Chain A
Amino acid sequence: MDLNYFLILSAFLFCVGVYGVLARKNGVLVLMSVELMLNAVSINLIAFSAFQHNVSGQIFALFVITIAAAEVGVGLAIVLLIYRNLKSPDLDKIDELKG
């Protein structure tokens, strides 16, 4: 197996994630896209770790998964509160900080 396959996969996932974050209006979907980006990074870390015989990358990946879980918990709570207040998960409607 070549390392490049993994990197291309991870790059593809990251791009999908970036597109989702920038383009989707629904807060939940934006959060899911963030997860995609995180996972792309995790794939990168694990791939390099495996090819270079160095476990620290995999440990990083474990940390990333843990943090991502916590982050999603907080993020979903925020989205839920936004939904309760605005009756809509649409992120474009939240522009109170407009200059």
Chain B
Amino acid sequence: MLDAAWLIPTVPAISFALIVFFGKRMPKHGAEIGIAAVGASFVMSCIAASQWIDRVEEATGHSEGLGAFGKSVFRAAGEQGVEPVVNTVTWWISGGLHFTVGTTVDGLTVMMMFVVTLISLLVQIYSTAYMHDDRRYTWFFACLSLFTASMLTLVVSENLLQLLVGWELVGLCSFMLIGHWWEDLANSRAAIKAFLTTRVGDIGLMIGVIVMYFAADTFSIVGINEYALSSGAEHNLLLAGAICLFIGIIGKSGQFPLHTWLPDAMAGPTPVSALIHAATMVVAGVYLGARVYPVFYEGFSIGDGGVNFMALIGGVTIIIGALLAFVQRDIKKVLAYSTVSQLGYMVMALGVGAWTAAVFHLFTHAFFKALLFLGAGSVSHSGSHHSFDMKSDMGGLRKYMPVTFATFMIGSLALAGIFPFAGFWSKDEILVTAGETGFEVFMVVGLIGAFLTAAYMTRCVYLTFFGEYRGHGHPHESPRAITVPLVILAIFSVVAGLINAAPLGIEKFTEWFEPTFAFPHLVHSEFDYGLAIISVTIAAVGIGIAAALWFSREELGPFRGLTQRNVLARKGYTFLENKYYLDHLYENVIVDGTRGVVARAFYWFDQHVIDAVVKGVGLVAARIGRFTYDVVDQQGVDGAINAMAAGTGDAGSALRTVQSGRVQRYALLLFAAVGLLSLAVYLANTL
């Protein structure tokens, strides 16, 4: 399976075509094809993952089960490490350059394939109930299949060019799915915004790919990683490449300041939000960061422990995302800003050299964020009449929707980083590594983020599930197609963290999935009980304060109505509610500025310069044309042709007298000719 990894993205891609052409005629309108294809991909991903784990354990001679003695010895396998399995075919040849497509399978790839296919499978099953009776049901499943196929293509890519193809396809699919209900203008605007905002980052990515090609003389990911780590690497070139690639990550993974598209992307159906936020869209950026990590590691000099671009952006994103989550009324927007903030954690972790922690957080976050989104979808499907407004249509739902409530609670606790849920282990690993590699500032930022996360999730859970029901429908539990995926994801949200639970001596995630080939030697920090206790305490305090505010008899207690009484608080609230005026900046200042000033300048330039030039050229061309017509065409060319025609006609008239139609006349000419020829031959011979 490691060599045949190309099958994993191919199956959903074929399913896309099948659903488009035959979906409507199938008994389940195409859903069964999509689920079967993603299911097959999921099985293949599991096989690939187990084969990769065998390969790693064989190479390290370390297969005595759970590795019960703390620090494993996986680095002892020799300096070369476990090579990725690379397969390529030539795509096209141009000017002696071979462009290839292929697959690179290593720990990161199999881990991502597992997550992507599992979440896609659950989302598709969930969608059969959630999207029931949708007017474009078949098309929706086709898009989901293509979305999964695109993300898998991106994940298994052998080179950056192929990765770019997957990257753009993912963007396209998210555009189609966010705008699934395009009849509503707001939805299609959100789709366009998501597409264009990520395109801004894509420019950076494209330039980055080109820079890396000229630096390393190859598109191959392994080749680029080897180049970045080699002693002959040009540092400035790596820095330029890393910055450009990072701009791509900012766009795709919703980092400050291009995070504004992510909350708007909530316009799409909820299963799509889950897919975008957990598995197939936004993590593509983090995946890219992890994939060509040596470029960032060397380019940003992460090993030296200074503040760098990547960690800084990640840190800023954590805080601004978390703060914005407080002022949202829409449950999905709370989750969206939470995703922004969690992606900030991942990027910050990459920026401080905590590769494994970043990827581990990606892994655990995928489960609990998918769980939370699907839970929110379940609430709107069965509890609040398709509304997502927590303040006007929800509340008190825990009595009506016990399964949704229980799983949502698990997801929230995992997100808040409470022991022993998945989020605790990965978040803690980020904080520990940040503290040990000399990035203490970012450790503090992470702790503040953990506090805010716990607090806004408490608010969200309170508004949704506690208090009195404020909606107008008849809330009830969702059907099984919705609750079963929730339960599965909840189980993963509880246990997924244990795969890298350092104090229990389990570091399987590090061992199996961290590359050992062409990879910088990173610091692997010890588990720090003190820090773990501090982070859980901080999260608990966050929950406590938020609970005290919202659960108290009079909501918000002494703070109730604070924004009416205090100018400063009101200003802060308004500032947050307007999302730091970033959308304002983009739309009114940048877009309108372009439309207004720049557009007017261009209009003047168009009218007065380009039009004049065009007009002049046109006039001259017309003159030349007239002259050509009168002299060259009419007299020269036409004359010659008419003369030829007349000559041919005259010759024809002259010759037609010979064609009398009388056989004897022809015979006479024949004999005369033979006679003359004979005479000529005779004379020629005798003279």
Q: Is the CB of A95 within 8 A of B661?
A: yes
Bound together, the chains give a CA A23 to CA B662 distance in angstroms of: 12
Q: Is B667 an interface residue (CB 8 A)?
A: yes
Q: Are B667 and A22 neighbours in the complex by a CB distance under 8 Å?
A: yes
A99 on the B face (CB < 8 A): yes
Contact: A97 with B664, CB < 8 Å? Answer: no
A98 touches B659 (CB 8 A): yes
A22 contacts B659, CB within 8 Å? no
> Do B671 and A94 touch (CB < 8 A)?
no
- Let me know if B664 and A95 touch, CB within 8 A: no
Chain B, interface residues (CB within 8 Å), range = 10 to 19
In the complex, whether A96 has a CB less than 8 A from a CB of chain B is yes
The yes or no answer to B97 lying at the interface (CB within 8 A) is no
B660 within 8 A of A: yes
**In the assembled complex, B567 has its CB within 8 A of some CB on chain A:** no
Interface pair B662/A92, CB less than 8 Å apart: yes
Q: Is there a chain B Cβ closer than 8 Å to A36's Cβ?
A: no
Q: How far is the CA of A97 from the CA of B668 in the complex (A)?
A: 17
Question: How far does the alpha carbon of A29 sit from the alpha carbon of B373 in the complex, in Å?
Answer: 111
**Smallest Cβ-Cβ distance to A97: which chain B residue:** B661
| B664 and A96 form a contact (CB under 8 A) | no
By CB atoms of chain A within 10 A, which of B660, B664, B671 has the most? Answer: B664
User: CB of A21 within 8 A of chain B?
Assistant: yes
- Does A18 sit at the interface, judged by CB under 8 A? yes
A7 contacts B by Cβ under 8 Å: no
What string of 1s and 0s marks CB contacts (under 8 Å) between B313-330 and chain A? 000000000000000000
Neighbour of A99 across the interface among B656, B663, B671, CB < 8 A: B656
Chain A residues closer than 8 Å to B656, beta-carbon distance: 99
Q: How many A-B residue pairs have CB under 8 A?
A: 33
By the criterion CB–CB under 8 Å, are B661 and A21 in contact? no
Also in contact, A91 and B661, with CB within 8 A (given A22-B668, A22-B671, A99-B656)? no
B657 partner residues in chain A, CB cutoff 8 A: 99
- State whether A91 and B660 are in contact (beta carbons under 8 Å apart), knowing that A18-B671, A22-B671 are contacts in the complex: no
Q: Which residues of A contact B655 (CB under 8 A)?
A: 99
Could you tell me the distance in whole angstroms from the C-beta of A11 to the nearest C-beta in chain B? 13
CB distance from A36 to the nearest CB of B (A): 14
Contacts of A94 in B (CB 8 A): 661-663
CA distance A24 to B568 in the complex (A): 131
Q: Are A21 and B667 in contact (CB under 8 A)?
A: yes
Residues on B with C-beta less than 8 A from A99 are 655-661
- Say whether B659 contacts A91, CB under 8 Å: no
Closest A residue by C-beta to B656: A99
* Inter-chain contact A98/B661, CB cutoff 8 Å: yes
Nearest chain-B residue to A34 (Cβ)?
B667
- Complexed CA–CA distance, A92 and B667 (Å): 13
Residues on the B chain within 8 Å of A22, using CB: 664, 667-668, 671
Q: How far is the CB of B503 from chain A (nearest CB, A)?
A: 112
Report chain B residues within 8 Å CB of A96.
Answer: 661
Q: Residue of A at shortest CB range from B659?
A: A99
Q: Which listed residue, A21, A30, A95, touches B660 by the CB 8 Å rule?
A: A95
CB A19 to nearest CB in B, in angstroms, measures 10
A23, A91, A97, A99: residue with the most chain B Cβ atoms closer than 10 Å: A99
Chain B residues 651 to 678 lying within 8 A of chain A, measured CB to CB, are 655-664, 667-668, 671
B660 touches A98 (CB 8 A): yes
- The complex places the Cα of A99 from the Cα of B668 at a distance, in Å, of 17
Residue of A nearest to B675 (CB): A18
Of all chain B residues, the one with the shortest Cβ separation from A95 is B661
* Complexed CA–CA distance, A99 and B662 (Å): 11
Chain B hits for A92, CB < 8 A: 662, 664
State the Cβ distance, B665 to closest chain A Cβ, in Å: 9
Bound form: Cα–Cα A94–B663 in Å: 8
Which residue of chain A has its CB nearest to the CB of B662?
A95
Taking CB atoms, residues of chain B closer than 8 Å to A21 are: 664, 667
A92, closest chain B residue (CB) = B662
Instruction: Give Cα distance in the complex from A97 to B665, angstroms.
Output: 12
Kindly identify, within residues 45 to 99 of chain A, every residue whose CB is under 8 Å from any CB belonging to chain B: 91-92, 94-99
Please measure, in the bound complex, the distance between the C-alpha atom of A30 and the C-alpha atom of B666, giving whole angstroms.
14
Q: Is the CB of A97 within 8 A of B667?
A: no
Partner of A91, one of B658, B662, B668, B671: B662
Binary B-proximity of A13-25 (CB < 8 A = 1, otherwise 0): 0000010011100
CB distance from B661 to the nearest CB of A (A): 3
Minimal Cβ-Cβ distance residue in A for B652: A99
- CA distance in complex: A81, B495 (Å): 108
Contacts of B658 in A (CB 8 A): 99
Chain A residues with CB under 8 Å of B659's CB are 97-99
Q: A92–B660 Cα gap in the complex (Å)?
A: 10
Mask, B627-659, CB within 8 Å of A = 1, is 000000000000000000000000000011111
Residues of B within 8 A of A95 (CB): 660-662
User: Considering the chains assembled together, what is the distance between the CA atoms of A94 and B661 in angstroms?
Assistant: 7
| CA distance in complex: A88, B659 (Å) | 22
Across-interface contacts of B667 in A (CB, < 8 A)? 21-22
Residues of A within 8 A of B662 (CB): 91-92, 94-95
B657's nearest neighbour on chain A, judged by CB, is A99
Bound CA–CA A97/B655 (angstroms) = 14
Closest residue of chain B to A98 (Cβ to Cβ) is B661
Closest chain B residue, CB of each to CB of A23: B664
Residues of B within 8 A of A97 (CB): 659, 661
Across-interface contacts of A18 in B (CB, < 8 A)? 671
Task: Please give me the residue from chain A that is nearest to B658 by CB atom.
Answer: A99
The answer for the CA separation of A95 and B660 in the assembled complex, in Å, is 7
- The 8 A-B residue pairs with the shortest CB-CB distance, nearest first, are A99-B659, A95-B661, A98-B661, A99-B656, A97-B661, A22-B668, A95-B662, A21-B667
Of the A-B pairs whose beta carbons lie under 8 Å apart in the complex, a sample of 5, sorted by A's number, is: A22-B667, A94-B662, A95-B660, A98-B660, A99-B656
Task: Please list the residues of chain B having a beta carbon within 8 angstroms of any beta carbon in chain A.
Answer: 655-664, 667-668, 671
Known: A23-B664, A92-B662, A96-B661; 16 extra A-B contacts, CB below 8 A, are A18-B671, A22-B664, A22-B667, A22-B671, A30-B664, A91-B662, A91-B663, A95-B661, A95-B662, A98-B661, A99-B655, A99-B656, A99-B658, A99-B659, A99-B660, A99-B661
